[in-house]
Amino acid sequence: MGTDAQQGLLLNILVGIGGGLLGGWILGLFGGNPMGDGWLISLVTATFGAVVLLFLVGLATGRRSIRA
């Protein structure tokens, strides 16, 4: 999402944890089981959740990513 340089270690960790929770919640809405489908599905779910979370924070703050 192009925000790594703007964030420190603590915020990156919080986004990862929040993304995992958000991704698990979203997957649960669609009938998935993020806890029982193995580590790869859990990783993909957490990554998807983190991207969604960063996107929503970007919308709320009005920041746009800079593309190189």
pLDDT in tens, 22-63: 888 888 888 777 666 677 878 888 888 888 887 887 777 776
Q: What is the pLDDT of residue 20?
A: 83
Q: Pseudo-torsion of CA 3, 56, 60, 13, nearest 10°?
A: -50
Please give the model's pTM, rounded to 2 decimal places: 0.66
Within 10 Å of residue 12's Cβ, how many Cβ atoms?
13
Is 4 buried (19+), middle (13-18) or exposed (0-12) by CB count in 10 A? exposed
Token pair 């809405």 in the structure block, residue: 29
